[in-house]
Amino acid sequence: MVNLKLLEGLSFHGAEQYLIESGYGQKETLNIDSDECDVIEVYPYFLYDDCGNIIDKVGHAEYCMIDTDGELDDFACKWIRLDENTI
């Protein structure tokens, strides 16, 4: 399991590269409605064992507001560990 503090210390692209080199695979982006903001956009990454079982699930969460043009503007982001309720 990857240490989230390690990912926080890297740029998004650096953290993404680290995850891919560590065997994680990127999944489809999720848009989750939230009370904290308009939308939380999550970029999930899964790690599987040799039998295809999920070992770890992490995601880069971008907390977004919808601007007047309908575009998502992120105001905060962080790496999170995903659970069965998220995915």
- Average pLDDT for residues 38-44, to the nearest whole number? 88
Q: Is the pLDDT of residue 86 over 70?
A: no
The predicted structure's pLDDT at residue 73: 76
User: What is the pTM (predicted TM-score) of this model?
Assistant: 0.83
Q: Is the pLDDT of residue 50 over 90?
A: yes
Q: Record the tokens describing residue 76, joined without a space.
A: 């905060």
Q: Is the pLDDT of residue 87 over 80?
A: no
- Average pLDDT for residues 65-80, to the nearest whole number? 83
Indicate the domain borders of the chain.
4-81
Alpha helices in the chain (DSSP H): 4-8, 12-21
Torsion of CA 76, 20, 4, 53, to 10 degrees: 120
Pick from 2-6, 58-62, 69-73: least confident: 69-73
Report DSSP state, residue 24: -
